[in-house]
């Protein structure tokens, strides 16, 4: 595999097919080719956000946000926002906004809060057909109606390193094929990135 797998990288986000499985296979193939020459998490998540966004657009899925939150040890927050534990350590149970496509979003989310924090704390996918019926849903955008969040686990110990989050403008916007694809993409990214944030 050459360092640069595409004649033009932007071509990777152009989809000839409109069949969901074909589009998703193309995304997974492109993502796999891109990560072969790169392990920096920000680079890989940024291109994955773009691939997802253009795939959902090609499928007319009315996705309004597609991207990532990463687990960070709060050292990047302003000092007044850092909460120290009883032994003085800084909590690392916070998700910070990562690469995404869509409108400006919430910057930090605590483990256990919202759909993202729930998926991160449990280490399992959370599919929300109607966000109004999910207690604690964090409405970064009031137009969002449904959401899916998939945890990203690292290769070493299966530690949660972040979450993949997709929002949709219609209720029940995600089916089993979408979830299966997103879990495969999250698995690929978890294995392919260095998570030394």
For ligand SME, the binding residues (CB under 6 A) are 65, 105-106, 109, 114-117, 137-138, 140, 147, 165, 167
Crossing angle of helices 176-192 and 41-58, rounded to 10°: 160
Nearer to ligand SME, 74 or 145 (CB): 145
> Which of 163, 149, 159 shows the shortest CA–CA distance to 196?
159
Min dist CB 174 to ligand SME, Å, is: 13
Q: What three-state secondary structure class fits 65?
A: strand
Min dist CB 147 to ligand SME, Å, is: 6
Min dist CB 166 to ligand SME, Å, is: 9
Tokens of 167: 């929002």
Nearer to ligand SME, 35 or 109 (CB): 109
Min dist CB 135 to ligand SME, Å, is: 10
Residue indicated by tokens 């033009």: 8
> Which of 149, 87, 78 shows the shortest CA–CA distance to 116?
149
Q: Which residue is nearest to ligand SME (CB)?
A: 114
Nearer to ligand SME, 35 or 148 (CB): 148
Residue indicated by tokens 């993502």: 31
Q: What are phi and psi of 193, to 5 degrees?
A: -110, 150
Q: Helical H runs in the chain?
A: 20-35, 41-58, 114-122, 176-192
Nearer to ligand SME, 45 or 140 (CB): 140
Q: In what order do the strands lie in the sheet with 108-110?
A: 108-110, 94-102, 63-72, 160-168, 146-153, 126-128
Nearer to ligand SME, 117 or 151 (CB): 117
Nearer to ligand SME, 13 or 164 (CB): 164
Min dist CB 168 to ligand SME, Å, is: 10
Min dist CB 136 to ligand SME, Å, is: 7
């Amino acid at each position: 595999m050459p360092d640069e797998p595409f004649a033009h990288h932007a071509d990777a986000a152009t989809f000839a097919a409109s069949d969901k499985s074909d589009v998703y296979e193309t995304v997974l193939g492109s993502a796999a080719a891109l990560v072969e020459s790169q392990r920096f998490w920000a680079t890989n998540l940024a291109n994955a956000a773009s691939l997802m966004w253009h795939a959902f657009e090609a499928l007319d899925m009315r996705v309004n946000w597609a991207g990532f939150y990463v687990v960070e040890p709060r050292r990047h927050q302003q000092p007044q926002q850092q909460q120290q534990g009883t032994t003085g350590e800084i909590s690392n149970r916070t998700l910070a906004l990562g690469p995404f496509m869509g409108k400006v979003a919430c910057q930090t989310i605590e483990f256990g809060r919202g759909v993202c924090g729930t998926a991160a704390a449990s280490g399992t996918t959370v599919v929300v057909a109607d966000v109004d019926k999910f207690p604690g849903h964090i409405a970064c955008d009031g137009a969002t109606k449904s959401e899916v969040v998939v945890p990203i686990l690292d290769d070493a110990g299966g530690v949660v390193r972040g979450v993949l989050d997709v929002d949709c403008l219609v209720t029940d916007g995600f089916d089993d094929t979408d979830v299966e694809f997103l879990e495969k993409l999250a698995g690929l990214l978890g294995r392919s990135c260095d998570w030394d944030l």
